[in-house]
Structure 1
C-alpha cells in the first residue's frame, strides 16, 4: 500500500511531541518534509524522524508531492499557511485556535472546499476516553436534563512547554493574537460544545493579563456560557496555575453529576442521586506535564478520514464555532457586555 506523504510546517513543541511521533507511528503515513524558519530546529527533527527534505520557506515545501500538511505554527500564520496548503492540493490539519478571526476561518474552509480536500482542526480533547464517555452518557438521557457545568484548563504557562521558553511567540500579541484563551480556553469551548451537543449562544467574560511579565496577551480568563437550550456554566482558562494542571470538567444534571479528569485515578466519576458512585479509570488525559507522549488520536483519526473519504470529527466549520466562543469572550471583556453569538 502506498503511504500518504506528510509534511509538517513548524518544528516547535506541538510538532515534536504530538504531530511528528503520531505520524511516525501511523503505518499509513510517511513524513517526507519538514519546515521551520529555525533551520537548526528543522534539521534536528529531520534527523530524529528520518525526514529527507528540510525547508525554511513553506512556499518551497508546498511545491513537493504531498498528501497531508500539518500546520504547527504561531496562531497568526494558521490561516495563510493552511489556505496555501489547500490550494497546493493537500489535506490540512491545523492546530488550534484555527485562525485569528471568523473571516480567516471562513477563508480556510472555502479554500479546502474549493480544492476538494479535508480541513481538520486539532482539538484533541474530543478524543479523550473520559470525554467520549460523557458525551455518550448524556446523549443516552441516563442523567436527564443538564442544568449547569464548569470546565477549566489551567497550568503554569507555555514557557514550560514551548521550544522558545520565556521568549515564546505565545506571549507576543502580533503572533499569538490571544493568550490563555486561545491556548487553553478554545479547547474547553470546543469540548463543552461537543459533550453537550449544543451550540453556545451567549458569552460573558473577564479576560485579563495579570500573571506574566514581558507579555501582552491574556493569561487569566473566566467566562460564563449559555447554550441554545438554556444550559449555563463557566469556563476558566489560566496560565497562572502553579504546581499542578487542572484540566477538569464537571457536569451537573437532573439525575446526578459527571466529574471528568478531576481525580488522579478515575478519569470519570458519576455521582447518582441515590448516593451511589460509578468510578471509571479510562486512561490519562494528554497533558503538557507528560510531554505529550501518549497518542492523542488526532492524527490517526485524520488519516482514517482521508482514506475513507469521510468528514473528520472537527471540521473547519466546527473549529470556527469554537473559535467564535473565545472571540465572543474577548468582545465581552472589552465591552463589559454579554455577547450574543447566534
Structure 2
C-alpha cells in the first residue's frame, strides 16, 4: 500500500486537536474526506487539510478510495457508524468509549471479523511513556507481589475542551450515555488492565453533583479487584476545578511506582530499601497547552494497517475496558459488587 487514504467523521475537538493533525503529520497518510453535520465545521477542516467536505457520513463510506475511517462522534453514534464503515470495507479507529452497551461492542467486533478489517479503540493511555516504562517494571517482577493501586483522571470538565462548550453533547444523556466515566474513567480502566491484567469485580459510587442541567455522571469512585486479589480505586471526575490529575500509584511488595504523580518526573520508583529512581520522560498528553505533542494512537493505527500488524487496542480490548465502566454503573444502581465473570468478560 502506497498511501493510506483516510476519512474523519465528526469534526469536533477530538478530530481538530488529535486525529486530523496526527494524520496530517504521518507521511504515510492522505486525508481525503472530513464530515460533520455542521457544514461550516466540515468545510473549515477540509480547507485546512486539503480534503473534501461532507455532511452525510454515508457518502464518505461510499468513497472507493478511502481505506480507513476515524469515528469522532458522540458516544451513541460510535457503534452504528463504526459498523457501517466496517461493512463498507474500511478499517476503523473509533473514539472511546467504544459503545454504550456490551451488545453494541460485540456487534462492532463481529463486523470487524466479517469484513476482515481492523477495528481500533482510541485508548491513548497505553502509549504514554511513563505507562509503558511502568509496564516493563511490573512485567519484570522487580516490584514483587502487587498489593494495591489508585488511579485518577479528573479535570474541570469538557466545557472548555468541547467545540460546543457548555451546550456540548457530553452533557446530553441520550447522546453521551455516560459522563466522566465514559470520557475519563474508561481510559483508566484500560490502563489498569494493561498494567495489572484483568479485573474480576467492580463496586462504585457515581454522582452528578458538580454540573448543572445534566443527568450524566460527573464524579465517580470505583473499587476494582483482580482474581489474584489486587485491589484499588479508580476515580473519574469533571470537578477538579483547579486543574487536571491523571496520576496512578501502584503499591507492591518491594516498592511503589508513581506515574504522572509529580510535576517534574513522569515516573518515580520508590523502593523499600530506600532507593529512589526518578524518570524524566515525555509528558502525558493534556487538553491544556504544553501537553504531549502526539497521542501515538494514529501512528499505531496507520502502522498496523500498512504493515498488517496486531493492534494493541482492538475491539475485544476496548470491550473489556468498557465492561468495567458498565459494571460500575450496575453497581451504582444495584448497590452491590458486580462480578465481571458474570458479565461474560474473559478473565486471564
Give the TM-score normalised by structure 1.
0.98
The match for 2:267 is 268
Q: What is the RMSD of the two structures over their aligned residues, measured on CA atoms?
A: 0.9
Rounded Cα–Cα distance in structure 2 between residues aligned with 1:97 and 1:228: 24
Q: For 1:224-243, what aligned pairs fall within 5 Å after superposition?
A: 224-243=223-242
Cα displacement (A) at 1:292: 6.0
**Are residue 176 (structure 1) and residue 176 (structure 2) matched?**
yes
Instruction: Report if the CA contact (8 A) 2:282-2:292 is conserved.
Output: no
Rounded Cα–Cα distance in structure 2 between residues aligned with 1:85 and 1:274: 54
**Are residue 327 (structure 1) and residue 331 (structure 2) matched?**
no
Cα displacement (A) at 1:56: 0.5
Cα displacement (A) at 1:307: 1.2
Instruction: Report if the CA contact (8 A) 2:283-2:292 is conserved.
Output: no
The secondary structure found in structure 2 opposite 1:47 is helix
Instruction: Report if the CA contact (8 A) 1:201-1:228 is conserved.
Output: yes
The match for 1:187 is 187
**Gapped runs of 5+ residues in structure 1?**
none
**Are residue 43 (structure 1) and residue 43 (structure 2) matched?**
yes
**Greater shift in the superposed pair: 77-86 or 306-315:** 306-315
Please identify runs of 4+ aligned residues in structure 1 that moved more than 3 A: none
Cα displacement (A) at 1:46: 1.0
Rounded Cα–Cα distance in structure 2 between residues aligned with 1:292 and 1:251: 23
Rounded Cα–Cα distance in structure 2 between residues aligned with 1:63 and 1:228: 46
**Are residue 33 (structure 1) and residue 42 (structure 2) matched?**
no
**Are residue 15 (structure 1) and residue 15 (structure 2) matched?**
yes
Rounded Cα–Cα distance in structure 1 between residues aligned with 2:59 and 2:290: 31
| 1:132-153 deviation line (CA, Å, top 9, x unaligned) | 0001100000110100000000
The match for 2:286 is 287
The match for 1:149 is 149
Rounded Cα–Cα distance in structure 2 between residues aligned with 1:229 and 1:18: 37
Q: For 1:1-342, what aligned pairs fall within 5 Å after superposition?
A: 2-51=2-51, 53-64=52-63, 65-196=65-196, 198-290=197-289, 294-342=293-341
| 1:165-200 deviation line (CA, Å, top 9, x unaligned) | 00000000000000000000000000000011x111
Instruction: Report if the CA contact (8 A) 1:34-1:46 is conserved.
Output: yes
Rounded Cα–Cα distance in structure 1 between residues aligned with 2:280 and 2:89: 42
| 1:110-165 deviation line (CA, Å, top 9, x unaligned) | 00110100000000000000000001100000110100000000000000100000
The secondary structure found in structure 2 opposite 1:262 is coil
The secondary structure found in structure 2 opposite 1:244 is coil
Cα displacement (A) at 1:276: 1.6
Rounded Cα–Cα distance in structure 1 between residues aligned with 2:291 and 2:316: 26
Cα displacement (A) at 1:250: 0.2
The alignment covers a number of residue pairs equal to 340
Q: Residues 23 and 282 (structure 1 numbering): CA distance in 2 closer, same or farther, change over 3 Å?
A: same
Q: Residues 220 and 332 (structure 1 numbering): CA distance in 2 closer, same or farther, change over 3 Å?
A: same
The secondary structure found in structure 1 opposite 2:159 is helix
Rounded Cα–Cα distance in structure 2 between residues aligned with 1:189 and 1:114: 28
Instruction: Report if the CA contact (8 A) 1:18-1:292 is conserved.
Output: no
Instruction: Report if the CA contact (8 A) 2:4-2:306 is conserved.
Output: no
Rounded Cα–Cα distance in structure 2 between residues aligned with 1:208 and 1:36: 32
Rounded Cα–Cα distance in structure 2 between residues aligned with 1:227 and 1:308: 34
Cα displacement (A) at 1:291: 7.5
Instruction: Report if the CA contact (8 A) 1:18-1:293 is conserved.
Output: no
Give the TM-score normalised by structure 2.
0.96
